[in-house]
Amino acid sequence: MSTVLNHTVNNIQGEPVDLSRYQGKTLLVVNVASKCGLTPQYEGLEALYKQYHQQGFEILGFPANDFAGQEPGSDEEIQQFCSLTYNVTFPMFSKLVVTGEEKHPLYKDLIKAAPITPNRGAMESMLKQHQIEPTAAPEVVWNFEKFLITKQGDIKRFAPDTAPDNETLVSAIEADL
């Protein structure tokens, strides 16, 4: 079993969830935010979830306020936003930290397992154009970075600007299902 699934985290209702319950499934772990230019990815993520959920696919959404304060709300506010604006039905979790000294152990393990963000440079350039200094590798670059955890525990990483319907991402999901 991947050490990534050796964590207990609180769901968005504040209840503890042992991530080992997802062992044997194809997982997409995404750090999300409600006030980001990439927030419309919720729509694509939900479509992906609906398309593949019955085949053993799960999306785990982890709100994080690490980037430009783009997730300032409480868990309740985040849940309401996701439900009302994007009709999100995939599992959402309590807000956590994905970068820096206070990084949640789940994200420490994800980054250790997949330290390279493919196409990171394009995202860094876009951030710099907006006068935002990107995090240093191997840190998560921005909201909506994705980690695909296969049934065997292998981890593939996708840049934040990788859309949920991106052919490379979808192919990797389908190959594991």
Alpha-carbon torsion angle 103, 107, 112, 114, nearest 10: -140
pLDDT at 119 over 90: no
95 phi and psi angles, rounded to 5 deg: -60, 140
pLDDT tens digits, 127-166: 888 888 888 889 999 999 999 999 999 999 999 999 999 9
pLDDT category of residue 1 using cuts at 50, 70 and 90: very low
Own/partner long-range contacts of 84-88 (Cβ < 8 Å, ≥24 apart): 85/42, 86/42, 86/43, 86/46, 87/46, 88/42, 88/45, 88/46, 88/61
Q: Average pLDDT for residues 97-118, to the nearest whole number?
A: 94
Number of domains in the chain: 1
pLDDT digits (tens, 9 = 90+) for 35-48: 999 999 999 999 99
* Tokens describing residue 98: 């994905």
Confidence label for 123 from pLDDT (cuts 50, 70 and 90) = confident
Contacts of 67 (CB under 8 A, 6+ apart): 33, 36, 142, 143
* Cis peptide bond N-terminal to 138, omega within 30: yes
CA 90, 50, 52 angle in degrees (round to 5)?
A: 105
36 is catalytic: yes
Q: Give the CATH number for residue 37.
A: 3.40.30.10
Catalytic residue, candidates 3, 25, 35, 36: 36
Residue type at 149 in one-letter notation: I
Domain extent at residue 112: 3-176
What is the spatial distance between Cα 175 and Cα 158, in angstroms, rounded to a whole number? Answer: 16
